[in-house]
Structure formats: C-alpha cells, structure tokens
Structure 1
Amino acid sequence: MTHRTAILFLLLTLVFPGPLCAVETDTADLQERFTAQIAPLLQTSCMDCHGADTQEGNVALHQLGGDLTAPASIAIWGRVLEQLETGAMPPSGEPQPTAAQRQAIVDWLQETLVRAGRGFELQAKRLLPEYGNRVSHALLFSGEIQTPAYTPARLWRISPHIYRGKRYQLQVAGGIEAEPVAYSSKSSGIRDYASQEVMDESGFLALQAALDDILTNQLRVKPGFQAIAEAKGQPSPEAMERVIAEEFLRATGRPINDDERARFLAFMTANIRQGGNESGLKITMLAIYLSTEAVYRMELGRGEPDAFGRRQLSPPEVALAIAYAFGDTPPAEVSILQQALRNDRLTKRSDIEAVVRQMIAAGAPPVRHELPAAFFARIVQSDDDRGFGWHPRVVRFFDEFFQYSKAAGTFKDSPGAPIGSRALTAAPQGFIAEIVNEDRHVFEELLTSPRFNENQEALLARLDALYQKKLSKTPESQHAGITAWYNDGLKSAKRLRQETFRAGILTHNSWLIAHSTNAENHPVHRGIWIRERLLAGNLPDLPIDVDATIPEGPDRTLRERHAVTRAQSCWKCHQSFDPLGMPFESFDDRGWVRTARYFDKGKNAYLPAPHLSEEELEKLRQKSEIVVIPVDATGGISGTGEPDIDGPVHDARELVQRLARSTRVRQSIIRHAFRFWMGRNEMLSDSQTLIAADQAYVTSGGKFSEVLVALLTSDSFLLRKDDSASTSASRPH
C-alpha cells in the first residue's frame, strides 16, 4: 500500500467508518433485510424486465439472493447499484419506487457490497465531487429525514489560495506570488474538498522545497528575517521571539502561546548555534510553516459532545472557518473576527450569525487586477461598488460553478470575431458580482438577466451613470481627465453590437466558449453540465467499449451529425442531455448569436459566419450558390417533475428562462453551494441544512446572502462528530 493510499484509507475510515468497517455489519441482518424489504421491492420494480421470462441487457435478478459471495453476483449487483443511484432504472414510463424505497435498496446494496469486499471502491467514489448528485435529491428536500446534521471531524489541507493569503512573500518577483501547493482534484468544477486534498509524502517534500525557496528569497526582504540573518553573532532573544511570533501567526492564523514561544525560541537558538544565523532561521521557519496547523485546517470540535455525539467547533476554529468561507485572509487579519474572539462572540449560534452578517455587510472591493483592454468589459469588472459579491470565495464559487473562466484558456481554430481572454472572464465576473450584490432573485437573474447582451444602448447608459458618479465624487480640477475617459468610452461604443437575444450567463460568450471545442459547439458537454449542475441529475460512467466520436461532415450541421446518438445503445443516456445542449445551436462556437447557417454548394461546406446581411449574401452569390438554412435550436427539458418546466423548447433563450423558474434548479444550485462551503458532498443527514437554506432563499425574495447565513450557521458547518460507532450516515431515519 502506497503512502497516499494509506492516508486515503485512514481518511475514509474516519469519514465513512461504518461501511468500511464491514466486519461489524451483521450478515444475518443483511439477509433478513433482503428477505423482508429488498426482495419485495425488486419483485415489484425490476422483475418484469429482469426476471425469469425476460432479461433485458442480459441482466437476470430472479436467481440472485442476498448472498453476494459469488463474483458474478457482485458484478451484477454493482451494475444495479449504479442504475438505481443514477435514476436510470426503472426506466421512465415504468412504475417507480418511492425515494425512500429506492434509498432502502441502495443502502442494502452498498452495505452488502462492502461486506463482499467492495468497500474502499464504493466509499472513495462517494467522496468525489462528481458523485455528489448520487445522494437522493427527493429525500434531501422532502423533510422526512430528521437525522441531526454534522460534518465528520477532519483535517482539511490548506488550499493554494489560502497560501497566497498568508503572504509568506512580502515582495513578489514579476508580480506573481508563489503558491507552494496545487490542487489534487481535477479542475472541472467545485474542487476544494477536504477528502481529496491530502498531503502525501511527495506533496510534503514538494511543499518543503517550495517553502525553502520562498525563505531564501525573503531573507533580505523581511525586516525580521534580515535582522537575524545579518546579525553579528547570536541574534538577540527579542529579535528571535518577534520573528517566531509573527511567522507563527502568519502560518497558523492564531497567536502563539507561551509554551510554543519558549519551545521555538529554544529550537531556533540551537539551530543558529549549530548552523549559523541563516540556516538556523530557515530551519526554524520551516518547522513553523510545516507544522500541522500551518498545513491543515483543523476542524475537530473542542466542546463537550451533545446528545448525538456532536461537538461544536471552538471559537478559534469558528473564526478560521468563517474567515476562509469569505476569503483567503487568515482570521488574525480580519478585524470583525478578532473583535468577536476578544468579546467571546463565536460560541452562541445567535452571536455567530451576527458575525456572519457583519462579514456580508462589510463586503469587499471589486477585483481590479488583470483588467482587460476592452473598455466596457473593464468597467463592468472593476467599477461596481463594494459588496459581499466581491468576497474572493463568493467570486470563486460562481466561477467554479459556471466555469466561465475556462473560456480564457480555450484556443479557437475556427474563423470568427475574437474576444480577448481577459474580457471573456472580466465581463461575466462583473455582471455576476453585480447581481449578487443587488441580492434580489439572484439565481433567476443569473440565468435570465439581459445585461449579458452586448447591447450598445444598455452599455452607454451604464457609461453615462458611471460618468456622473465619477464627476460627483471627484474635485472639479480632475473633471477634465474624467471627461477624456468618458469620450474614450463613447468611441469604443461605436463598435458595440445591439444584441437583445441573450438571457443570463449560459448565453454569454464566456460560458458558451468554455463548453465548446476548439472548432465547434459541444451540445453533449453543455447538456451534461445542465443535467448535473442545474437539474441535480446523475449520469452513469461512460462504458469503456463505447465509441463517443461524432462523425465529421462539412456538408452536415452539428445536429445532423449527432443523429448517430439516436441509436438505442446511445440514446438511453443521450436522451437526458442532448435535448438540453442542442438549443445552444442558437450561437456559433465563439458564442455569437445566429439564426441561420449558410451553405456554399460550390465548396460543399457551411460558411463560418454567424450572420450575413443581404448585401453580403448578394456578393457571395455572385461567386457561388449560397443556401440559407434556418438554425434548428429546438430541444427539451425533462426530469424536473414540474409540469410547467418539462417539455419542448424552441431555443436557448426559452430553455434558460424556463429553467430559471424551476424549484429543482434552485435547489440544485443550493446543493452546489453547500458542497463549496462545506468542502464535501452532502449526506442525507444534511437534509435539514439544505431545506433551511432553500427556505431562506425563497422567503427572502431570492437573497443569496440569506443562503450564506443559513449555511454558515448550520449544524453541518459548525458541528463535528467522530462517528466511528455509526453504521451509516446516509440511511433515512
């Protein structure tokens, strides 16, 4: 077993101890549950297609009992578990078990497969962000789960962003601050999970080397370091104590205590005596920088356990959790949290809520670094007012959720009007922060707001308002410069389009490009994104024997080429996401609105232009026969369980406007917010936390700030539990 595997096994034992310690599961109890509960449910829901008379997909369940010792049985039950968790079986149109009945089968299968030796594989999957939707959406929001919420006691490795916030480097070469660690998880969405960010041996050695380099570069920069490194002979105890206290606070986020100060002072003194001032200083600083509290966020819960075995985070732990819920700055540098610690206001739930509301009210300034060259993208990003939507973690949540910033790294081979990479990120970032700061019907606005159009009239109105605001806040002596800036904006406005079709972030160039290929649209990726992110849907893993290639064909539209997915073996999966992705054919692969495609018969290929005027068409027709073919952007929504939401849609605009009205979409966004701020997937025991966050959003008129308050004051956020005696955190109670 490798070092990393051993750590992950230990972590899984701590987080999901019951299923992994399968020897404690009574085999007789599992068999009894199978006979009394599972077999009747399988008979009702599965045997018509997988029984003695019919075995669709070559799956027969009628001869399988509760004993999973046979390898063939294990393989079949593993397939059954995935089909049940993803909701693929029973198929739509067939009688469905209730959510509780489905969960009963899932729980039995998980525990029985663990008993058969599949525990590590199953539980490792449950920890991954991409498997979060496997937890029953219906049960999470039905209200029938009353299990008290908690988060397992844990160590959470410090993220790259938090390392930047520690400011180990006072001066940064080239303007880029080093991040001595990188994320371990893949970059396809929400990723800072405590279970995934583990410091293994190679990671520790890489961190040590990076910190050593940082220390070497800072020896002549930090005054405290410089005083010790350049001291003649042994540095004074006062100088050493000062550096130890400063760097301990920087590394751990809390003041050093007397015992720690004495130990590190003795350690530094011995190191300097043996290795000299520079080496002794570096070794001591490395000891501080590599200490457990400096590498991990320790969330163990220090209070007395309640009746359910849960312990509340101690005030310093709460301060750390709240600080990193909003930004990357340690709590020692957040005045609101320092005052709360001094006044003992991080123990009672009402006091913690008041502190969270203070943090929201204080807000943060707009992002003003790496501004784009494009005039209007720049003002959208940087000239908003201070607000909680600019807190680094709030900005990061919506970026990781929508993934719009991936557009900046998508290289386009296709011809067409380009957009600067910084502008692709800046404009949506500014619009999203603006919507969050307005704090009214936030999710609906994000999905339908017309501000995502490049509309000359609307952007000129924004420029005029900003111009008047600048004039009112600056001395008259500076008005000439502001007027020159305004006139530059008027010149830039001449190149703006008059778009009105776009509605929300999913119709903005950034999201469309982020979910496209180098040369064309990608309806599959877009549809999967909507199914998983907005509809809390599940998709089975892609079978290894499936050829997922779409045939080429310059004389066929993308929809025509995707006809191959209508084959029965493909459509059983593609039917859940192709209809969600095809409506974005309303745009070309660079995200420009189009209503028609232009087919050049002479070249036997479609022209890349998203729109041609009659004059442009006439010129082209003088050289070749051009056929104008209206874009087919039809699609459909399914699986929400809401009759006014499900059904066919005409184009992307209708799709997003209908999705914005969906209860399931609202709840799915809240589930992803939960994962981001809790650093883990939800369990069924988090049901009351999610319901409270959902109700807070609805009753407040769509305030995202109330969702944050509900999450950051919940039992899931504040309470920890070592549940080694539990058997399952997911079974309904």
Structure 2
Amino acid sequence: MASTTRALASCPSFVAAGVLVALCGCPAGGGEGGGDDEIGQDTSSEDEDTGDETEGGEDEGEGEPSGNALDQDQLFTCVDAPAMSPADLRLIDRYSWTRNVGSWHGTDLDRNPLYARPEHRYSSYAEDETLDPSVLSLYLDSVAGIGLPWAQTASWQENAITTVTGDPELHCFIGDAAPSPECTQYYVERLLERGAHYRPPTDEQVDRLVEFAQAALAMEADPAARTETIGSIVTASYVTVDALFRSELGDGRDNAAGDQLEVDAHGRLRLSPHELAQAMAYAIAKTAPNAPSVRRKHMFQSKGDVDGYLAGFTDAALDGSLSDPAVVDELVREYLGGVDELRQDLYLERADDRHWDNRSEYWMGMGVRAFFREWLDYGDLAAKPPKVEVAHTSAYEGVGSVEKSYQNQVDPFYGYENSFVEHLDDMIARILESDTAIFEQLLTSRMFYTPATAGYQQGESTIWQSTADMNKAYNVAGVTEATREARWIELPANERAGVLTHPAWLGAHGLSFENDPNLVHRGKWIREELLCQDIPDLPLNVDAALSEESKELSARERISTQIDADPYCWSCHSLMNPLGYPFEIYNHAGFLRVDDHGSAPDGSSELTAMPSPELDGPVSSAIDFNERLAASPYAKRCFLRQVFRYFVGREETLADACTLVAMEQAYVDSEGSFAAVLTALFTSDSFQLRVQD
C-alpha cells in the first residue's frame, strides 16, 4: 500500500491510469448465504442512498489479525505505545463524490463507479482503495455533465450552486465574450478550491488549469458555447488526483507557515490543517468542507451558503484553531446532527421530495448516518430476499392489507410515508440529539418514529390496501394521525426496547420465512458487532441447512433439535444461538409474535461463557437481553471500537489503546455524549498523526 500511496502522491496533476492492488483475503466469520433455511450468513450489503457497501467479518490481510481477534482488556489499557496510523491517499467514494459535485439531479452523475470495496468492514476503510483501468474508464464516461452549475449565474435555476451564483466575481468568466486573464485566474482558483479539491490549490495546479482554460477559450467559435467550454474545464479539474483522492499524508504541503513539519521519533507527521479539516468533514458528513449549497427542484436549497456546507472546518484550518480541542468539539456538535423542521439534509437525496415533510424533525450528518446503517447493517433492507407471509405468527396474520403495507415500507411506492430504514434513521437521530447515555438509549429506547395511516384507510384512498396498516409492524392499534407528534410513539415496555427490536434491524437480519434460522443470523451479529468476537468460518464439508421435514415446526424447535443437540455444530453455534433466542418473540419481518406454531412465543435463553461476567445468566426476552447489554461495560467498549473503526477507517490495533481509553473516558465524563466521543477520537494521535514510510 505504501508504494501505491507514494506513486499517486507523486502524480503532479492528472490521473493517467489506475493502480491495481491485490485484494485482501476472505472475510472471517460466516459461510455462503443461500436458501431460506441455510444457517450460514452472507452479510454483504449495499446502501442504495449512499452507495456504501459492507460485509460481515474482517481480515485485514496476511499477518494482520482482525480487530475482533485482539484482547479487549488490552485494547483499553493505555501503556503509552504510539498510535501508528498509515499515511494514505483515500479514494473519494460514490456518495461523497456526488455530494461534492452537487449537480446530479436530472443526470446519472450519482451512478458513478466509485464504490467502496465490498471486502472492507466499513465503507470508510481506505486500504487498497484506488482506481483500476476499468473503473477509471467508467468514471471518465460519467463526468461529462458536472460543469453545468459552474456555468449558471441565476440562483433560481435547478442545480445552481450558491458558490457560483452568490459570487459576482465569477460571472465575468461565464458571461464575458473575452474574459480577462485576471477573471480567468480567479475563476480557476475558485473552481479548484471550492469545486474540485476543497483545499487551497498549489500554484502549479492553478497555472496548469489556467493554461488549459485559456486554450479552451481560444478554441471557442462562439461565446454562446461557453457552457460547453466551462464543462471541459471543470471536467479537467475533476480528473486530478486531488479531486479523486483526499490526502492523509501529513506532509505539510499546506502548512499555514509554509514550513515542512518535522517527523517525530516514531516516524509520524501530523496531518496538515486542511488534511485534518477534510478528514473530520468526511467522517461526519461524507462531504468535503465547503461542498456547495445546491438549488433543487421546487426552489429548495441544501445546507450552506456561498462558502458551502461544513465551511467551519475550512475556516478553522485557515486560522489555525483546528488544533484546539474546544474548537473541534464545537464543530462536531454543529455538524453532527440536531433538529431541523425543514430537513435540509434531505434535499440532496434521490428520494421523492414529497416524503421529506413526513420525516421526523431530527437529522444527523450523513457520515454518522452511514456509520449506524453499516454497523447495525439495516440500510439495505429493500435489497434483502423478500419476506413470505410477513405477518405470520403475529396478531395480524391473514390480513392482506398488513402484508402489502409492510412491503410498502420496505420499498415505499404508494402514498407519502417513509421506509422502515428511514424510521430507524430518525429514531437514532433523536437519540443523538439528546446526546446523553447514547449507547444505553440505543439499546433500550422505546420511543419509535412510526408511519401515519390517517387518510389511507379503506374508503379514504384508492391505495388503502398498501397503506392502511403500515403501523401494524409496530403493533400500533388504531389510526396514526399525519403529524410528527403523532408519529412519535412510546411503545409498550414488554414489546420493544431499542434499535435491535426495530422492524428495520429485525427484518434486515431475518430470512424469507418466519421459522428460518433467523435467530442464528441475529445472534451472529450480536457476537461480532456488540461483543467484538469472531465466529469461525463455516467448514466446507458442512451442509448448513435445516431439514425439509421440520418445515412445520418453530425455529426454536428446529434449531434446538438439529443444531444445539449436535456437539459438532454446537461448538460454533453456542456462540450465536443463545444470543439469538431472545429475539424469537419477533418473526422474520419484525412483527411481535402472539403465537409460535401452537405455543406461546419464547424469548428465553441461558447465556453462559460470555466474554464478561455481567453478561452471563438467564434472560426472558429481547427486551431483557437488550437491557443487560446496555448495562454492560464490555458491550459499550465494543461499541466504541466500532466507532473507532468507521471514523478512523481501519481496524484498531493495540497501539491505539490510549485513543480508545480517551474515548471511553470522554463517554464517562460527558455522561454518554456521542459528540464527546468523536471529539476525543478526532483529537487523538490515531486520527491526527500518520506514519511515513
């Protein structure tokens, strides 16, 4: 990887070819996914909105153990070992590139090929992220339309960006028949700094693009073709290394004093101010600092002004205050999330804008949203194999409108309500806005954002069969009014507790039938993502499927007789099954059971040999289990490790122990603030320093 980074870093301007790097080995944990009754799990996923891809299990290459292979007690024991994060050039991902361009509406620009590698645990991982020739070719085919906003001076035009429309000094290049050299110079500087690189360009970069722009103007037969001319100039800026990659080299190229930073005794450089500004902005919002504020259809304006969105990070980089932890904390709290009645964060979503008013008033930064969608692995619910008899074993079995209303929330089409995934997004955003006891609230909150059904009942709407019973997946009786206040419902204490009891999570970790081995999949997730322990790979000689003869039995009966009673299978399934049994009070789609194949729903389980003593013992249901997890220091530490992995973009190592200790202390001192945890992380050596090869 060091050679890849060095080769790309030395490229002075345009990307001529990609570098193909060998992929990592197979991910640890889980076997091949397949038929409905298969017990192995394929957890690869793609988030349609963000382009994020994830996959369960980790293997960071030969000789590098997964983070889950490390002893957690050692990881939270600071012995002053230096954090050794590698220097890197990080490829911009699909969502971030689209957000930076800001002009995709009415185009296919958001279908660019800059996907994260599927073998990475999180889409934010940087290792081996580069362009091979095939991806580069697809990229070049997709960039042709990115110049339009840089040729528009009217703020009311669709896709107009305030960076251009609000800066009169740029208009001479757009409207003058023969722009002056000074006008051209200014336009190019602003384009590179606020439209492609999102950091001050070097003199060489400016000079090269000015030369290109002047040549393009000279070839222009008619000033009426200025839009096409600008398109070619903007395209040229977007095939530079700094437009495709963000630097985390710590080389001091943009140090405010113009000095090279000194390598410390461990061979590390501190990220330069603009590198640090980008690292934080992308982490929180998956967006560059100063990303443009964009005019969308119906006159909606996304966040930001003439200086763009997240401009506070750039301002702090320029004035040197980004080195102050208090300033970092202020910026984190500003951009992490909050309350916004207009939900401007959604104006750049491809989703039909008629759904925006029906979202909750709580929002979170897109990077934060991506973390929770990837960690909890619920963002791709619509891409999962379809559920059969979604209401089976629930109080609504046999009601056709319940089945159709459920499917309409998996992938909304009828009416104006939102998806299960968006319901869970809003639930998490509300918890983050409180910023107190975040981990505990995530696992125990009973306040759920649910769909409205008023106006969608039989006789009120022609689409009532797909909308009338949308609230039944939450076991909500009656009609829910179409207000935000009415949609927020505190569900009964014996029915739901936290995100792991949300239909989005339960459905994402359930197969097609209610008596499939859903409990194995749910237990596997908890073992790996809440206890930070690996599950051994499925042996190649094992047929991981339940028998056809047991199709009429409950999942608990099928698993306990065929898997738990088999010593060979139990050696691995003991790590998963007891953790999944508590969730058998819900079916595969997340409906609360009222009957389980002739027996009362049973969520009891005996937890033994857990990684920490406070987790051992009997539990009666998922609610009981979630409360135990929420009170567990061990589980909370695993959560902090997941935060580290996503926001740093790599697996933790024992050398990161002091950073993890600081994150935990920040959580304790702040009484559970997520913002405080991120501030501790962003100001740590693991985040700010890079090893020079």
Instruction: Give the structure-2-normalised TM-score.
Output: 0.70
Residue 134 (str. 1) matches residue 69 (str. 2): yes
Residue 431 (str. 1) matches residue 427 (str. 2): yes
Give me the whole-angstrom Cα distance separating, in 1, the residues matched to 2:322 and 2:586.
Answer: 50
Amino acid in structure 2 at the alignment position of 1:124? G
Q: Is the 8 A contact 1:192 1:676 kept in 2?
A: yes
User: Displacement, 1:275?
Assistant: 7.8
Amino acid in structure 1 at the alignment position of 2:270? Q
Residue aligning to 2:508? 514
User: Displacement, 1:698?
Assistant: 1.8
1:166 is aligned, of 100, 116, 136, to 100
Residue aligning to 1:672? 642
Amino acid in structure 2 at the alignment position of 1:392? M
CA deviation map 1:600-630 (0-9, x unaligned)? xxxxxxxxxxxxxxxxxxxxxxxxxxxx312
CA deviation map 1:56-88 (0-9, x unaligned)? xxxxxxxxxxxxxxxxxxxxxx9xxx99xxxxx
User: Displacement, 1:365?
Assistant: 5.0
Residue 266 (str. 1) matches residue 211 (str. 2): yes
Give me the whole-angstrom Cα distance separating, in 1, the residues matched to 2:605 and 2:120.
Answer: 25
- Residues 710/450 of structure 1: CA separation in 2 closer, same or farther (3 Å cut): same
Give me the whole-angstrom Cα distance separating, in 2, the residues matched to 1:549 and 1:656.
Answer: 28
Residue 406 (str. 1) matches residue 406 (str. 2): no
Give me the whole-angstrom Cα distance separating, in 1, the residues matched to 2:271 and 2:370.
Answer: 25
Q: Is the 8 A contact 1:244 1:261 kept in 2?
A: yes
- Residues 716/245 of structure 1: CA separation in 2 closer, same or farther (3 Å cut): same
Amino acid in structure 2 at the alignment position of 1:413? V
Residue aligning to 1:382? 360
Deviates more, 1:696-705 or 1:177-186: 177-186
Q: How does 1:115-154 map to 2 (within 5 A)?
A: 124=61, 131-143=66-78, 145-154=79-88
Residue 535 (str. 1) matches residue 531 (str. 2): yes
**Structure 1 stretches of 5 or more lacking a match?**
1-6, 15-77, 84-120, 461-484, 599-627, 725-733
Give me the whole-angstrom Cα distance separating, in 2, the residues matched to 1:206 and 1:285.
Answer: 18
- What's the RMSD between the two structures over aligned residues? 4.0
Residue aligning to 1:342? 318
Residue aligning to 1:245? 189
Residue aligning to 2:270? 312
Q: How does 1:195-234 map to 2 (within 5 A)?
A: 195-215=127-147
CA deviation map 1:254-277 (0-9, x unaligned)? 233444323321122234546867
Residue aligning to 1:296? 245
Q: Secondary structure at the match of 2:246?
A: strand
Give me the whole-angstrom Cα distance separating, in 1, the residues matched to 2:102 and 2:482.
Answer: 40
Residue aligning to 1:591? 590
Give me the whole-angstrom Cα distance separating, in 2, the residues matched to 1:441 and 1:352.
Answer: 22
Q: Is the 8 A contact 1:645 1:661 kept in 2?
A: no
Residue aligning to 1:649? 619
Q: Secondary structure at the match of 1:155?
A: strand
User: Displacement, 1:447?
Assistant: 0.3
Q: Is the 8 A contact 1:637 1:647 kept in 2?
A: yes
Amino acid in structure 2 at the alignment position of 1:337? F
Q: Secondary structure at the match of 1:653?
A: helix
Give me the whole-angstrom Cα distance separating, in 1, the residues matched to 2:521 and 2:209.
Answer: 53
Q: Is the 8 A contact 1:336 1:359 kept in 2?
A: no
User: Displacement, 1:394?
Assistant: 1.8
Give me the whole-angstrom Cα distance separating, in 2, the residues matched to 1:631 and 1:413.
Answer: 19
**Structure 2 stretches of 5 or more lacking a match?**
9-24, 30-57, 253-260, 291-307, 392-401, 411-417, 455-478
Give me the whole-angstrom Cα distance separating, in 2, the residues matched to 1:9 and 1:155.
Answer: 11
Instruction: Give the structure-1-normalised TM-score.
Output: 0.66
Give me the whole-angstrom Cα distance separating, in 2, the residues matched to 1:256 and 1:494.
Answer: 47
Q: Is the 8 A contact 1:586 1:651 kept in 2?
A: yes
Give me the whole-angstrom Cα distance separating, in 2, the residues matched to 1:435 and 1:711.
Answer: 20
Q: Secondary structure at the match of 1:254?
A: coil
User: Displacement, 1:337?
Assistant: 2.3
Give me the whole-angstrom Cα distance separating, in 2, the residues matched to 1:133 and 1:547.
Answer: 26
Q: Secondary structure at the match of 1:298?
A: strand
2:437 is aligned, of 426, 433, 441, to 441
User: Displacement, 1:568?
Assistant: 2.4
Give me the whole-angstrom Cα distance separating, in 1, the residues matched to 2:120 and 2:266.
Answer: 36
Larger helix percent: 1
Residue 565 (str. 1) matches residue 563 (str. 2): yes
Tell me the percent identity.
Answer: 30
Amino acid in structure 2 at the alignment position of 1:135? L
User: Displacement, 1:324?
Assistant: 1.6
User: Displacement, 1:588?
Assistant: 1.4
Residue aligning to 1:94? none
Residue aligning to 1:186? 118
Give me the whole-angstrom Cα distance separating, in 2, the residues matched to 1:341 and 1:531.
Answer: 41
Deviates more, 1:157-166 or 1:488-497: 488-497
Residue aligning to 1:330? 288
Residue aligning to 2:575? 576
- Residues 641/435 of structure 1: CA separation in 2 closer, same or farther (3 Å cut): same
1:356 is aligned, of 299, 318, 329, to 329
- Residues 690/509 of structure 1: CA separation in 2 closer, same or farther (3 Å cut): same
Give me the whole-angstrom Cα distance separating, in 1, the residues matched to 2:267 and 2:489.
Answer: 64
User: Displacement, 1:146?
Assistant: 2.9
Q: How does 1:600-639 map to 2 (within 5 A)?
A: 628-639=598-609
User: Displacement, 1:415?
Assistant: 4.3
Q: Secondary structure at the match of 1:501?
A: coil
CA deviation map 1:566-617 (0-9, x unaligned)? 322221111101111122110112211124224xxxxxxxxxxxxxxxxxxx
Q: Is the 8 A contact 2:390 2:588 kept in 1?
A: no
Give me the whole-angstrom Cα distance separating, in 2, the residues matched to 1:534 and 1:199.
Answer: 34
Give me the whole-angstrom Cα distance separating, in 2, the residues matched to 1:188 and 1:289.
Answer: 26
Q: Is the 8 A contact 1:380 1:430 kept in 2?
A: no
- Residues 8/551 of structure 1: CA separation in 2 closer, same or farther (3 Å cut): farther
Give me the whole-angstrom Cα distance separating, in 1, the residues matched to 2:5 and 2:558.
Answer: 46
- Residues 636/705 of structure 1: CA separation in 2 closer, same or farther (3 Å cut): farther
- Residues 694/565 of structure 1: CA separation in 2 closer, same or farther (3 Å cut): same
Residue aligning to 1:715? 685
Q: Is the 8 A contact 2:5 2:89 kept in 1?
A: no
Amino acid in structure 1 at the alignment position of 2:181? P
Q: Is the 8 A contact 1:228 1:281 kept in 2?
A: no
Q: How does 1:277-288 map to 2 (within 5 A)?
A: 281-288=230-237
User: Displacement, 1:371?
Assistant: 11
Q: Is the 8 A contact 2:68 2:532 kept in 1?
A: yes
Q: Is the 8 A contact 1:372 1:426 kept in 2?
A: no
Give me the whole-angstrom Cα distance separating, in 2, the residues matched to 1:714 and 1:560.
Answer: 49
Equivalent residue pairs, number = 545
Q: Is the 8 A contact 1:380 1:426 kept in 2?
A: no
Give me the whole-angstrom Cα distance separating, in 1, the residues matched to 2:488 and 2:650.
Answer: 48
Residue aligning to 1:56? none
